[in-house]
Amino acid sequence: MRSQRWFQRRRVGLGWRPADWHGWVVTLLAAAAAITVLVLLRGSPARIPVTLVIVAAYAVVALATGGGRPAEEAPATTDEPSDGELPGPVGGVEQRLALRALTSARVSPSSTDEPALVVEHLTKRFGDRVAVDDVSFGVAAGEVFGFLGPNGAGKTTTVRMLATLITPTSGTARVAGVQLDAANGVDIRKRIAVMTENPGLYLRLTVAENLRFFAGLYELEQPESRIGHALAAVNLSGRADDLCGSLSKGLRQRVALARALLSDPAILFLDEPTSGLDPVASRDVHELIDGLRDRGVTVFLTTHRLEEAERLCDRVAILNTTLRTIGRPDDLRDRLFTKSLVVRTAAPLTSPDAVFAVTGVDGWRADDTTRYTLTVNDTRLAAPAVTRALVAAGADVLSLAEARHSLEDVYLELIDDDIEARS
């Protein structure tokens, strides 16, 4: 609620300050009166007492009409919602319906579709520093594509190049079917949306006003209806009239997502969308990305949260200035790591060499006295053979399982290689 008080107490120091236009009119009148008296009564002994009377009258008015802080002066960087209930999570039926209304129907991705994104030999240098070096990849329409890499790997620079914010030093790209070129900047930007790591909201404007501004920039038809759907999709319909400055970081991130969804983009670039969010807020963002996948929206997700990429992305690329690898998370694991089985027994095996000399096992190592890792070609063939050999040897088997390498293992393997190569 906006305060009706004319003056408010200063947060720092003594006294009051005007809070709305009444206060300013009184202040201006008092200042004008004081100056006039000082000028006209120059040399007169009456000017000091008259001026003091004016100041006293001003103070009385300020005290009589003063009050608390008005809403528009609320701190702009609060971490918690200032008022109202915390909105519910994203991903419910209502949100899915809103997402359906917001995004146009797209055919499911197929090999005949033109790729959403084709990048060829993209390079960006800032002076002597190479930020992105000869990067080539493609993203299919409707794909959720993860772009991983450590800080300073060139992820954001790549997104900025594809969003026409910065010019590549060399290389070409087609973004949503349009050639990447300074002359095509507006055309490309009409077809994409970028959610930057920092939500970049106008904190003195309300949620709806922020979205209205961007609806105007995209020249959207029926902007109010689209704003309504975008807010419903992120479950913020009840907060449309709240100042963005009064929202928590998680809610601001949701507003930024709503803003990115407004224009029904063919490609949605999400730059570290869950950076700094708590698990609940991160889950909401994940739900929304799942919803977008269902609607056939191409999502280009840059992140260094590997579990996020593994859970959400159809394919991932790992960048460290150069493109280190690209593929489905499962394929990357297979490519980088040999398949293995892990055997745990109740007691040490007396002759492990003899037990593991079965078809399909290429080698073995003892992790400790009762835990063995076996290198195999095909786990489906090797596992039954190893089980039979263990039983035949009279071993007390606690478990036999395929060793799973996470995307994190893949990532660390590649990045560690880079660190070693550089040192």
Nearer to another protein by Cβ, of 243 and 349: the residue is: 243
Q: In this complex, which beta carbon is closest to another protein, that of residue 220 or of residue 343?
A: 220
Instruction: Rule CB under 8 A: say whether 126 interacts with another protein.
Output: yes
**Options 23-31, 226-234, 301-309, 376-384: segment touching another protein (CB under 8 A):** 23-31
User: Which amino acid, one-letter code, is at 410?
Assistant: V
CB of 25 to another protein, least distance (A): 10
CB 37 within 8 A of CB 51: yes
Among 10, 15, 36, 114, binds another protein (CB under 8 A): 36
Token pair 């063995």: residue: 372
Cα(312)–Cα(294) distance, rounded to whole angstroms? 12
**193 binds another protein, rule: CB under 8 A:** yes
Min dist CB 234 to another protein, Å, is: 16
What element of type H or E holds 364? Answer: strand 361-368
Strands of 51-92 (E only): list them. 66-67
Of 1, 12, 14, 39, the residue at the interface with another protein (CB under 8 A) is 39
Parallel, antiparallel, or unpaired for β 16-18 and 7-9?
A: antiparallel
* Binding residue for another protein, selected from 30, 59, 118, 165, defined by CB under 8 A: 165
CB 301 within 8 A of CB 289: yes
Cβ nearer to another protein, comparing 196 with 303: 196
Stretch that binds another protein, among 58-66, 210-218, 321-329, 335-343 (CB under 8 A): 210-218
Measure the CA–CA gap between 27 and 25, rounded to whole angstroms: 5
Number of residues that bind another protein (CB under 8 A): 50
Give Cα separations from 286 to 22, 228, 231, 391 (angstroms). Answer: 48, 21, 17, 45
Structure tokens at 268: 């949605």
Compare residues 167 and 359 and give the one whose CB is closer to another protein.
167
Helix and strand element counts for the chain (H, E): 14, 17
CB nearer another protein, residue 164 or residue 345: 164
> Shortest CA distance to 8 belongs to which of 56, 48, 62?
62
Least distance (Å) between residue 219 CB and another protein: 5
d(CA 106, CA 297): 8
Of the candidates 160, 152, 161, 162, the residue with the CA atom closest to the CA atom of residue 131: 152
Stated as kind and residue range, the H or E segment containing 16 is: strand 16-18
**Does 213 sit near another protein (CB under 8 A)?**
yes
Least distance to another protein, CB of residue 398, Å: 54
Of residues 216-255, those binding another protein (CB under 8 A): 216-219
Closer residue to another protein, CB minimum distance, 100 or 191:
191
User: Per CB under 8 A, does 202 bind another protein?
Assistant: yes
Looking only at residues 253 through 272 of this chain, which bind another protein when binding is defined by CB under 8 A? 256, 259
- Indicate if the alpha-carbon torsion angle 168, 141, 298, 308 is positive or negative: negative
d(CA 332, CA 147): 14
**Smaller CB separation from another protein, 41 or 381:** 41
Q: Which is nearer to another protein, 204 or 380 (CB)?
A: 204
Q: Which residues 69-98 are close enough to bind another protein by CB under 8 A? A: 72
Pairing of strands 267-271, 298-303: parallel
| 4 scored as a contact of another protein (CB under 8 A) | no
**If binding is defined by CB under 8 A, does position 406 make contact with another protein?**
no
Report the alpha-carbon distance of residue 143 to residue 74 in Å, rounded: 41
The residue behind tokens 């954001």 is 156
Three-point CA angle 271, 273, 275, nearest 5°: 105
28 binding another protein? (CB under 8 A): yes
Of the residues 4, 15, 35, 55, which one makes contact with another protein according to CB under 8 A: 35
Per CB under 8 A, the segment of 160-168, 322-330, 355-363, 398-406 that binds another protein is: 160-168
Q: What angle do CA 391, 393, 394 make, to 5 degrees?
A: 65
Of 14, 21, 79, 421, the one binding another protein (CB under 8 A) is 21
Residue 337 and residue 167 in contact, taking contact as beta carbons nearer than 8 Å: no
Stretch that binds another protein, among 180-188, 342-350, 381-389, 402-410 (CB under 8 A): 180-188
Residues near another protein (CB under 8 A) are 18, 20-21, 24, 28, 31-32, 35-36, 39-40, 72, 126-127, 160, 163-167, 169, 182, 185-187, 189-190, 192-194, 196, 198-205, 209, 212-219, 256, 259
